[in-house]
Amino acid sequence: MKTQTSRTSPQVYARGFGLLYLTVIVAGIVAQMFISERLVVWGDAAATAANIQTNPSLFQVGFTFYLIEMSAQIAMTGLLYLLLKPVSRSLALLAMFFELAGCVIKTLGRLFYIAPLLVLADNQYLSVFSVEQLQALALLLLKVNDQAAGMALAFFGFSTFLNGYLVFRSNFLPRFLGVISMVGGLGWLTFLYPPLGYELAPYLLLVGIVGGLSQILWFFVKGVNVEQWRQQALETV
């Protein structure tokens, strides 16, 4: 029984990674494109405040989807480390640390996303501020959340490139997945200089989605070559 479980475990990691990666993409798209971008008007604090106050439950659902996104990303980071450590334990560990650092930054940034609900609430202690000041503060907090997400992408750039390199070097996954991942990682690294990253964001998002869906499909349909995975694992012991 132990032998059978051990033999199938890389495929379990692969399927789990694919499922979690799909969850990250779907939850992120719902939260960002269908909720946040519907409510937030970046150049108009009054309109943004009105949208949030009119749709507080929808705004809260967006926060929930963001938390689902980050929870799934943290879990898939661990699974990807388990899958790629036979190639190089040290590089896989370094990639995992970069990914987790980005997850921490992005998750903490989501506190600034939900904070406008408190700022715009009808609480007596907020009466010392004018309506315009509270609206401006709410929009500022949302912009900090957006900047935190951009900062996290720089860390994801390092992890994505390293993981792509490990996939490229592996004997149990196709090299084209590694190439796509490395290209995507280089793209996210443009967020080391945020103005450049945001300028290229539409193109980077397209590359990221193509790379992500390619990995999801491969891990779901093909998984990994278990024998090659085991052989490479023995060689790195």
% of residues, the chain, pLDDT over 70: 96
Q: What is the pLDDT of residue 237?
A: 58
- In this predicted structure, the answer to whether residue 46 has a pLDDT above a threshold of 60 is yes
Higher pLDDT, 3 or 202: 202
Mean pLDDT of 14-20: 95
Q: What is the pLDDT of residue 124?
A: 87
- In this predicted structure, the answer to whether residue 62 has a pLDDT above a threshold of 80 is yes
List, for residues 78-113, the tens digit of each pLDDT value: 999 999 999 999 999 999 999 999 999 999 999 999
Token pair in block for residue 42: 């970046």
Averaged pLDDT score across all residues of the chain = 93
Q: Which string of DSSP letters, residue by residue, matches 78-133? A: HHHHHHHTTT-HHHHHHHHHHHHHHHHHHHHHHHHHHHHHHHTS--GGGTTS-HHH
Give the model's confidence band at 123: pLDDT under 50 very low, under 70 low, under 90 confident, else very high: confident
For residue 226, the enclosing domain spans 2-236
199/215 Cα distance (integer angstroms): 26
List, for residues 162-221, the tens digit of each pLDDT value: 999 999 999 999 999 999 999 999 999 999 999 999 999 999 999 988 999 999 999 988
Q: Domain tally for the chain?
A: 1
Token pair in block for residue 187: 């793209």
- In this predicted structure, the answer to whether residue 5 has a pLDDT above a threshold of 50 is no
- 130 phi, psi to nearest 5 deg: -75, 165
Give the model's confidence band at 6: pLDDT under 50 very low, under 70 low, under 90 confident, else very high: very low
